């Protein structure tokens, strides 16, 4: 298995409920390292660009409104098989379908306010990491 990097975002529903530290403990207990992290307020343009792949979906407008409703915490996670491992740690997109012990089962409110985002493939991870972080912000 290769050491990979993936992009995580702790979403506004979770920052609003002061869950950043609790979510980070799920990440670290799974053996993933948080090698970069910042707390920011997305602009509408940034949220539309980040989720551009979903722009034809019926929920796109609501998703963008939600992602700019409060601060988010983008972070780079590193570890063996990090992309698939983080998707396991997050649980299913809809918390109603998430396994016990996952972040979304334990903290998400609904399919939109689902507390975290994680990249789905190496190509998207590279693009999403570069969206939020410059090389000088990544210390390893
Ligand atoms: P995420 O993994 O960040 O990728 C796209 C996001 O769109 C997803 O998490 C949810 O926040 C949101 N989403 C996906 N499906 C729906 C849906 N059916 N209704 C509302 N929001 C959704």
Residues 2-41: pLDDT tens digits?
Answer: 999 999 999 999 999 999 999 999 999 999 999 999 999 9
Cα 74–11–30 angle (5° rounding)? 65
- 54 tagged catalytic: no
Range 40-58 average pLDDT = 98
Instruction: Map tokens 């409703």 to a residue.
Output: 69
Residues 113-127: pLDDT tens digits?
Answer: 999 999 999 999 999
Percent with pLDDT over 70 in the chain: 100
What pTM was computed for the model?
Answer: 0.97
Closest residue by CA, ligand 1 atom 1: 117
Residues 82-134: pLDDT tens digits?
Answer: 999 999 999 999 999 999 999 999 999 999 999 999 999 999 999 999 999 99
Report whether residue 113 contacts ligand 1, using a CB cutoff of 6 Å.
no
Report whether residue 112 contacts ligand 1, using a CB cutoff of 6 Å.
yes
Report whether residue 89 contacts ligand 1, using a CB cutoff of 6 Å.
no
Smallest CA-to-CA distance from 37 within 113, 138, 128 is with 138
Task: Tell how far the Cα of 136 is from the centroid of ligand 1, in angstroms.
Answer: 31
């Amino acid at each position: 298995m290769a050491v990979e990097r993936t992009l995580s975002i702790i979403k506004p529903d979770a920052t609003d409920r002061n869950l950043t530290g609790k979510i980070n403990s799920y990440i670290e207990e799974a053996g993933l390292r948080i090698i970069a992290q910042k707390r920011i307020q997305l602009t509408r343009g940034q949220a539309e660009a980040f989720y551009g792949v979903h722009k034809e979906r019926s929920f796109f407008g609501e998703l963008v409104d939600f992602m700019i409703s409060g601060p988010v915490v983008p972070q780079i996670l590193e570890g063996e098989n990090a992309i698939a491992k983080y998707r396991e740690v997050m649980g299913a997109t809809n918390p109603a379908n998430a396994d016990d012990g996952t972040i979304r089962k334990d903290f998400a409110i609904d399919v939109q306010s689902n507390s975290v985002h994680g990249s789905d493939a190496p190509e998207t991870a590279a693009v999403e990491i570069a969206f939020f972080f410059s090389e000088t912000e990544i210390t390893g």
